[in-house]
Structure 1
Amino acid sequence: MLVPLTRQKFEQVIPRIASAPQYKYYWGKSADFLKRLLISVVAVLAVLLLRVVLGEGFGTLLFGLGLIGGLYWFWSPVLSASLRNQEYRRYPYSGFFRGRVLDIYLTEELISTEETVNNQGDLVIVENRERRLNLELGDESGFVTEIQVPLRKEHKAIAPNQIAEMVVLSNQPDLSDIVKVTDVYLPTKNLWVSDYPYLQRDMFIDVSRRLGRDRDDSDRRPPRKKSRSSSRRYPDY
């Protein structure tokens, strides 16, 4: 099932400004925080040096620059998440997808490489690999897509034929060419499968429930004479 979303609803489920889970994602680990903190310290020191060189005449401007630089550790995750959201929000058309898990498999992906020297003085390249979960998703129309995410313990609950929901993005009004997909929701397990949390999850679950009610109401209505186009249509959300 693929239901077009209105632009208003799409902008609700993928926010313009970073949500709390998105901010947490870009906050990163301790090493990431320390790197941002170091940049903030260097920025403040650079502003103080400029103040000595330029004098008091630029005090207001330099104070603003120092404040922005000193808080880099805080606002950098907001900027990174917001720019990533904007990459998805630039697509003009979107839809709510409900299908099923067709296949599940694991792979090991190369994350990064490091150069080091062993005890004999030889240069050694160390490969950092990560286990990834791969899901193949599809629906009755024949649409099939794959997503890949870092493997987590909770992924053990995933099994073939489970219902899978997500938002799909397209440049075509009829969604005939899907170019991007978001994180996946498995409602029977109340489980999210994603690397980056694109969706406002409470908003998305609300859309899912309303579409489920509309489908159930449609199924309970008495059959009517079908037109030439017998495919079931759902209202835009």
Structure 2
Amino acid sequence: MLKPLTREKLEQLVPLIATGQQYAYYWGKWSDLLNRLLISVVAIVVILILDLLFGDRGEALIFLVGGIAAFYWLWLPVYQASLRNAANRRFKYGGFWRGKVLEIFLTEELIGEEETVNQRGELVILENRERWINLVLGDETGFEVEVQAPLQRIYKGIKPGQTAELLLLSNKSDLREIDKISDAYIPRQNLWVGQYPYIQRDVFLEVSRQLGGMTPPRVNRRTRNPNIKRRDR
């Protein structure tokens, strides 16, 4: 099923400022935090040097820039998530979609590469791979979408036939061309599956409850998103 949403509801679902889950995503690992802290320290040192050079002439500006630099490690995740939200809010239309889990399979995805030198002094590129879960979701119209996420033990309860819900984004008012999808919600397991927490989840769950018994008309949809598919049946 697909239910078009109002612009007001869409803006509630796709927040302007980073949510807690989005902030946690961009907070990253300890190595990411240390990198941000290092940048903050270097920036503060540079600003102190400039303060010594220019004295009182740029005191107000140096104080402002210094404050920004000092908390760079803290506000950068908010900035990154907010930029991503702004890009998603540019889509004019959206819809709540409910379908079924059609297929589940695992893959190994390349998440990074490292350059090192072996015992012979030769440059070697090491690939960092991670196991991911892939869900193929579909509905009665033949519309299908594939959602990926790093594999976690909590996903082992997901089975084919279970209900799945997500948000579709488009620049077409009839939602016949889908440009973006959110992470997927599996109500039976109370789990979210996806690479990134795109939406305000409490608002999405409210929409899901409100539309619990609705059966909308069939719509043939097309998409430009490589993770969204339509399979001939």
Is TM more than 0.5 here?
yes
Aligned to 1:18: 18
Q: Which residue of 2 aligns with 1:77?
A: 77
Q: Is the 8 A contact 2:93 2:172 kept in 1?
A: yes
Tell me how far apart the structure 2 counterparts of residues 26 and 113 of structure 1 sit (CA, whole Å): 20
Aligned to 1:182: 182
Give the distance between the partners of 1:84 and 1:157, measured in 2 at CA: 31
* Backbone CA RMSD of aligned residues: 1.6
Partner amino acid for 1:205?
L
Equivalent residue number for residue 3 of structure 1 = 3
**CA separation in 2, counterparts of 1:231 and 1:209?**
19
2:226 matched residue in structure 1: none
Q: Find the aligned partners of 2:125 and 2:176 in 1 and give their Cα distance.
A: 44
| Counterpart-to-counterpart distance in 1, 2:217 and 2:176 | 16
1:172 is aligned to 172
User: Which position in structure 2 is the counterpart of 1:225?
Assistant: none
Residue in 2 aligned with 1:104? 104
Give the CA deviation at 1:86: 1.4
Matches within 5 A, 1:95-174: 95-174=95-174
Partner of 1:191: 191
Work out the CA distance in 2 between the residues paired with 1:64 and 1:26: 24
Q: Give, in whole Å, the separation in 1 of the partners of 2:208 and 2:85.
A: 21
Report percent identity of matched pairs: 55
**Higher Rg of the two aligned structures:** 1
Q: Given residue 34 of structure 2, which amino acid in structure 1 is its aligned partner?
A: L
Q: In structure 2, what residue type is equivalent to 1:18?
A: A
Change (3 A) 1:95 1:231: closer
Q: Specify the alignment match of 2:222 in structure 1.
A: none
Consecutive unaligned residues in structure 1, runs of 5 or more: 219-229
- Counterpart position of 1:61: 61
The structural deviation recorded for 1:232 is: 7.8
Which residue identity does 1:138 align to in structure 2?
Answer: G
Over 3 Å counting, the alpha-carbon distance change for 1:231 and 1:199 in structure 2 is closer
1:46-88 deviations in Å (ceiling 9; x for gaps): 1111111112111011000000011101100000010111121
Q: Using the TM superposition, give the Cα deviation of residue 231 of structure 1 relative to its aligned residue in structure 2, in angstroms.
A: 3.7
Q: Secondary structure at the match of 1:42?
A: helix
Name the TM-score, length of structure 1 as normaliser: 0.89
User: Displaced runs of 4+ in structure 1, greater than 4 A?
Assistant: none
1:95 and 1:122 mapped to 2: Cα distance?
53
5+ residue gaps in structure 2?
220-233
1:200 corresponds to which residue?
200
> Is 1:31 the equivalent of 2:45?
no
In structure 2, the residue corresponding to 1:55 is in which secondary structure? Answer: helix
